[in-house]
Structure 1
């Protein structure tokens, strides 16, 4: 992400949010990539109001993960109406469908191409933001999911009686 962003000619900042999930050496390595680039900000772990502000005010949300389970952060970003750019691993693509952009996992050039495209096409970003929020709220509505889960259990119990 950092390498792709550094190639981009933009006034937008790259905010890297979250704690170091790897070793301290890896965190130091990432910070050496930044050098004196004032456009890249490491926030460390964020939650609550600060996290909400980041999601609400971001131009796009990028999830460059190479391994995921159910990407909760992706769901959360989309629920905030974010235009998502995610790696093309199956877990991300299953959530994203056509409601955002994907790039080849681990491919800096592919990520750069999407970042450059979205930077140059704010109207497309705005359209993706609207689709993302509506989609997530309809597909991942916890009230509906809990009702459907309850109905499954009722059916299973009914079959056992």
Structure 2
């Protein structure tokens, strides 16, 4: 199959779940004999517009964009949708709801089959203004209308599309990254003033919907003796919120903003954590939580549906989303019951290893591609046979 990919910022991934997702599945597809072109953003790749490069067999096409908040994604997605027409792709795969606004272009102008993956309801994110929110909502409706197949990464999203649109979707989850070797001596963590197993870790972008502010308030209220709180992650288009976070942690020696971590430093900090906490109000299926679970780190999360899916059946602890008192109480219980937490972490590690594999995710995407192609071919054959019968009857 010849496949085009639209909606990812680019690969190799620097940050972002979609970019990690694409970096995992598309090289696997290439290794199985398929051809993949990924339309990326020059603002992310640092490659001039329309230049191409190879990433593990995937041809990455860097598109010029517009350096304005929220517009770069829309402009490059539109350009990718236009550029993909007439190239004889079998599949054009859009990732995320914003880029899906342009699914109408290849659907009308090309014979390729359109697949959309929803990684989360992006219009709910706080960083978007009213216009961007409306555009993403239109993208959601366009994806539902113009796609031949639609993928969702969580069971909650599958229920949403069924209830909202009566749309049948295919549930294909994401999977955790495969960590490499990290320093067994915990040198980087020690330099940060951390003690292995004695800090709580938040890993994710510092944005309102992930609620790092709630975790800071809960930690400050509890003041667990001998514990520190580490918030690791980059910022997004939410400067006011970031400034408020900085005020909250000012002069609090037990709270550390570690910034965006990558590679061996990231792996070391995750593996050294005594507890991973994700207090989000909104998630698709969080990679950071899956990674912590895979590494055997105890997990506490807000009780939103994606977290319930991952942490249910005694795989982690939950607290009421957005509720400070509930978060404080859950933190206290978690830190006071290390044996219970260790059992949950063991259960979580087994669950992730058994149910979340990039090889199976790649296979499921390819299965969907084959299905939409075969369905259209079968319909075409049926229409042709019907026309032949009608013509014979006329004669």
- TM-score, with normalisation over the residues of structure 2? 0.38
Correspondence list, 1:135-146, <5 A: 135-146=351-362
Could you tell which deviates more after superposition, 126-135 or 88-97? 88-97
Correspondence list, 1:77-96, <5 A: 77-96=292-311
Q: Distance in 1 between matches of 2:362 and 2:321?
A: 33
Quick one: structure 1 residues 152 and 25, their matched pair in 2 at CA, closer, same or farther if it must change by over 3 Å? closer
Question: Within the alignment, does 1:3 sit opposite 2:217 as a pair?
Answer: yes
Q: What is the aligned partner in structure 1 of residue 340 from structure 2? A: 124
Q: Distance in 1 between matches of 2:236 and 2:328?
A: 24
Quick one: structure 1 residues 10 and 21, their matched pair in 2 at CA, closer, same or farther if it must change by over 3 Å? farther
Q: Distance in 2 between matches of 1:151 and 1:25?
A: 44
Asked if structure 2 preserves the Cα contact closer than 8 Å seen for 1:63 and 1:74, the reply is yes
Asked if structure 2 preserves the Cα contact closer than 8 Å seen for 1:101 and 1:114, the reply is yes
Name the count of aligned residue pairs: 161
Q: Distance in 2 between matches of 1:144 and 1:23?
A: 36
Q: Distance in 1 between matches of 2:288 and 2:231?
A: 13
Quick one: structure 1 residues 148 and 19, their matched pair in 2 at CA, closer, same or farther if it must change by over 3 Å? closer
| Bigger relative CO (Cα 8 Å, ≥ 6 apart) | 1
Q: Distance in 1 between matches of 2:281 and 2:371?
A: 38
Q: What secondary structure, in the 3-state scheme, does the structure 1 residue paired with 2:288 have?
A: helix
Question: Within the alignment, does 1:105 sit opposite 2:359 as a pair?
Answer: no
Correspondence list, 1:46-57, <5 A: 46-57=261-272
Q: Distance in 1 between matches of 2:242 and 2:221?
A: 21
Deviation at 1:151, TM superposition (A): 4.8
Q: What is the aligned partner in structure 1 of residue 165 from structure 2? A: none
Deviation at 1:131, TM superposition (A): 1.2
Q: Distance in 2 between matches of 1:29 and 1:22?
A: 14
* Max Rg structure: 2
User: Higher strand share goes to which structure?
Assistant: 2
User: Higher helix share goes to which structure?
Assistant: 1
Q: Equivalent of 1:34, from 220, 240, 249?
A: 249
- TM-score, with normalisation over the residues of structure 1? 0.89
Alignment gaps of 5+ in structure 2: 1-214, 379-395
Deviation at 1:79, TM superposition (A): 1.2
Question: Within the alignment, does 1:63 sit opposite 2:278 as a pair?
Answer: yes
Deviations 1:18-57 (A, max 9, x none): 0123522221211211232111000111111111111101
Q: What secondary structure, in the 3-state scheme, does the structure 1 residue paired with 2:240 have?
A: helix
Q: What secondary structure, in the 3-state scheme, does the structure 1 residue paired with 2:322 have?
A: coil
Asked if structure 2 preserves the Cα contact closer than 8 Å seen for 1:82 and 1:128, the reply is no
Alignment gaps of 5+ in structure 1: none
Asked if structure 2 preserves the Cα contact closer than 8 Å seen for 1:15 and 1:42, the reply is yes
Cα RMSD between the aligned structures? 1.9
Asked if structure 2 preserves the Cα contact closer than 8 Å seen for 1:78 and 1:84, the reply is yes
Quick one: structure 1 residues 147 and 106, their matched pair in 2 at CA, closer, same or farther if it must change by over 3 Å? same
